[in-house]
Structure 1
Amino acid sequence: MKITVLSGGVGGARFLRGLRDAISPTDEVTAVVNVGDDMWLTGLRIAPDLDSIMYTLAGENDERRGWGRVGETERVSGELRAYGVGWPWFTLGDLDIGTHLTRSHLLREGLPLSEVTARIASRWPLGVRLIPATDDEVETHVVTAEATMHFQEWWTRHRASIPALSFDYRGVAESTPARGVLDAITEADAVLLAPSNPVVSIGPILAIPGIRTALAATSARVVGVSPIISGAVVRGMADACLTAIGVSTTADAVALHYGARSNGGVLDDWLVDNSDSQLTSAIEAAGIRAHVVPLWMRDPESSATLGRHALAAAVG
């Protein structure tokens, strides 16, 4: 079975880890990963979502912080601050910098990001193929009343406390899907939308020309997993993002935001938590088949169970 997952962020990383544990040895999982969080910083190309997913699947992520490598030191970041270089509020661990140095070196050698990602990821037996959604530089910027800033500044420095007016996926109109992305979607037996931030993780992927067309064309069912449980975000500040685009922080509102594939949207099925069972009528009325299952990924076992539920919806 060929399974393709549109993914980004910590929620996407944990979902992919659970899905990997749920599949059979003959199944293949491809993750199409958001690059909207990416940026150049102190001469290095930083790819937060690609790295978070890679470290999580490799068992190298810091579970306590939710980002970066386990057992990190931060001596280099301290030196950068002493020199007045970079963003003092955006700390890079020393091991993480090794990843960024490798990526930046290979990019400057002329390799596309997808090939660079494959080389970096080959260090560990991830059990999932990682492909950036595009090889082009697409970066999410946040428009506020006072200024426009890179998403990482809004998210990490300001903790999404400044009301956003809109989100600008810079460069997306001129971008193209990375090699292998369209085939991964159109040839899949199941396409899953991870419980990632709908606006800044999944949104930039769907905005890349050709992605929605591939989703419309695939014979696989497209199954999404709600990142909202009981009217609250599972992790992070996705509610601030949803508010900015006029979408309520509820599981049914996010489903309607994605829309039914039968009506020009992207979803065939939508998984909601047991606590949100009362929302299924609105989802079904929009042409999306709803499934009520436990969504909390509290440990490897519950994450794998969620992966099995998503696959069951895709083949059922």
Structure 2
Amino acid sequence: MSGHVIALCGGVGGAKLAFGLTRILPPDDLTLVVNTGDDFVHMGLHVSPDIDTVAYTLSDLADRERGWGLAGETWTFMDQVKRLGGEGWFNLGDRDLAMHVERTRRLAERETLSEITAALTSALGIRHAVVPMSDDPVRTIVQTADGELAFQRYFVGKQCRPVATGVRFDGATAARPSPALQGALARRDVAAVIVCPSNPYLSIDPILAVPGVRAGLKALNAPVVAVSPIVGGRALKGPAAKLMLELGAEPSVTAIVCHYRGLLSGLVVDGEDADEAEALRTLGLPTLATGAVMRSDDDRIRLARETLAFAFELEPRTQRRAS
């Protein structure tokens, strides 16, 4: 089946599947929409962590052990910052600094985040469209028992230790989808929407919080398929399982379906959750159980290929269930 694919992603898991999708689909057939709720200004520099993780992963520059940042990175800048008594809680690598400096310079010259992202990804040799969810500032705020924390303070500064009581997206109600996202939602040839295995609360919800995005996805005559970030009741990376428990949801693939209620046409889960997948099928949600843990490039490409094949088999919209 031919047609355009929209993928929503953020974080390491999302970047891995995005890598697989770019190895299967030609540039004209894929729009990668990336969360910018994690963006923040640090030491005067505009940092876009999820955009950079996706960019470094697609250009094969990412540190594969950490999953983020650049391979072979050095940290002499941060060592000196800490020596001088500066803020050392969020690390900026020596080579990684170039991305943040260049982004900040271009923003100061009134370029949009979309324009800057297109230029930077192109410079890294990426031919597929990597687009921010919005050019307007949307900031993820984690509400905790210790008070509200900006996302990076919660995630990096506090190492996700505070008990979460909620999540909100500052600025979302006034934001607009980025031009490329608006354009993708307006296309008549969209064949599938893939929700990558990213944290639903912290990586995908900010995208869906931008006015018009959720409604635009539901209005498409195309199936929406999510790849579960939960495997066997645990998150492979990041605080998704902890956050789900604290917000009153048992970490499971069923909870992922409930979280995306009203949006999904199908779900991809790991073989470890095959029994739960069968239960979801009984309830009417098409579910594919396969190897969803991406340890190698071959895993990324295989999972992307299987996810696309599964999505293309689904009837658009009529199969969308929320149970």
TM class, shorter-chain normalised? over 0.9
Q: Distance in 2 between matches of 1:191 and 1:64?
A: 29
The alpha carbon displacement at 1:41 in A equals 0.7
Are the structure 2 counterparts of residues 186 and 269 from structure 1 closer, same or farther at C-alpha, using a change threshold of 3 Å?
Answer: farther
Q: Does 1:248 align with 2:250?
A: yes
CA shift digits 1:48-67 (9 cap, x unpaired): 00000000100111111221
CA shift digits 1:245-288 (9 cap, x unpaired): 322210111112102xxxxx211010111121111244335543
What residue in structure 2 maps to residue 33 of structure 1? 34
Q: Distance in 2 between matches of 1:292 and 1:183?
A: 32
Q: Distance in 2 between matches of 1:311 and 1:209?
A: 27
What residue in structure 1 maps to residue 289 of structure 2? 292
Describe the SS at the equivalent of 1:64. Answer: coil
Where does 1:88-237 land on structure 2 (aligned, <5 Å)? 88-187=88-187, 188-237=190-239
Supply the AA of the counterpart residue of 1:104.
T
Q: Percent identity?
A: 36
Q: Distance in 1 between matches of 2:185 and 2:231?
A: 27
Deviates more, 1:125-134 or 1:97-106: 125-134
Tell me if structure 2 keeps the 8 A contact 1:200–1:241. Answer: no
Are the structure 2 counterparts of residues 285 and 210 from structure 1 closer, same or farther at C-alpha, using a change threshold of 3 Å?
Answer: farther
Tell me if structure 2 keeps the 8 A contact 1:143–1:164. Answer: yes
Describe the SS at the equivalent of 1:303. Answer: helix
Where does 1:78-93 land on structure 2 (aligned, <5 Å)? 78-86=79-87, 88-93=88-93
Q: Count the aligned residue pairs.
A: 309
TM-score, normalising length from structure 1? 0.93
Q: Distance in 2 between matches of 1:126 and 1:206?
A: 25
The alpha carbon displacement at 1:314 in A equals 1.6
Tell me if structure 2 keeps the 8 A contact 1:256–1:283. Answer: no
Deviates more, 1:68-77 or 1:279-288: 279-288
Q: Distance in 2 between matches of 1:22 and 1:270?
A: 20
**Aligned structure 1 segments of 4 or more residues deviating by more than 4 angstroms:** none
Tell me if structure 2 keeps the 8 A contact 1:29–1:127. Answer: no
Q: Does 1:54 align with 2:51?
A: no
Describe the SS at the equivalent of 1:122. Answer: helix
What residue in structure 1 maps to residue 316 of structure 2? none
Describe the SS at the equivalent of 1:201. Answer: helix
Where does 1:61-72 land on structure 2 (aligned, <5 Å)? 61-72=62-73
Q: Distance in 2 between matches of 1:82 and 1:38?
A: 26
Are the structure 2 counterparts of residues 27 and 176 from structure 1 closer, same or farther at C-alpha, using a change threshold of 3 Å?
Answer: closer
Describe the SS at the equivalent of 1:148. Answer: strand
Describe the SS at the equivalent of 2:46. Answer: strand
Supply the AA of the counterpart residue of 1:271.
V
What residue in structure 2 maps to residue 303 of structure 1? 300
Q: Distance in 2 between matches of 1:284 and 1:295?
A: 18
The alpha carbon displacement at 1:186 in A equals 4.2
Deviates more, 1:279-288 or 1:241-250: 279-288
What residue in structure 2 maps to residue 74 of structure 1? 75
Tell me if structure 2 keeps the 8 A contact 1:185–1:191. Answer: no
Tell me if structure 2 keeps the 8 A contact 1:247–1:257. Answer: no
Tell me if structure 1 keeps the 8 A contact 2:53–2:69. Answer: yes
Describe the SS at the equivalent of 2:95. Answer: helix
CA shift digits 1:166-200 (9 cap, x unpaired): 11211111111111202213422211000000110
Tell me if structure 2 keeps the 8 A contact 1:62–1:68. Answer: yes
The alpha carbon displacement at 1:29 in A equals 1.5
Supply the AA of the counterpart residue of 1:77.
M
Tell me if structure 2 keeps the 8 A contact 1:232–1:239. Answer: yes
Flag structure 1 segments of 5+ consecutive residues without an equivalent: 260-264
Supply the AA of the counterpart residue of 1:246.
G
> How much is the aligned-residue C-alpha RMSD, in angstroms?
1.5
Supply the AA of the counterpart residue of 2:61.
E
CA shift digits 1:178-233 (9 cap, x unpaired): 11202213422211000000110001111111101111111111111001111111
Describe the SS at the equivalent of 2:226. Answer: strand
Tell me if structure 2 keeps the 8 A contact 1:186–1:215. Answer: no
CA shift digits 1:129-182 (9 cap, x unpaired): 111001111111111122211111111122212111111211111111111202
Q: Distance in 2 between matches of 1:205 and 1:245?
A: 20
Are the structure 2 counterparts of residues 202 and 258 from structure 1 closer, same or farther at C-alpha, using a change threshold of 3 Å?
Answer: same
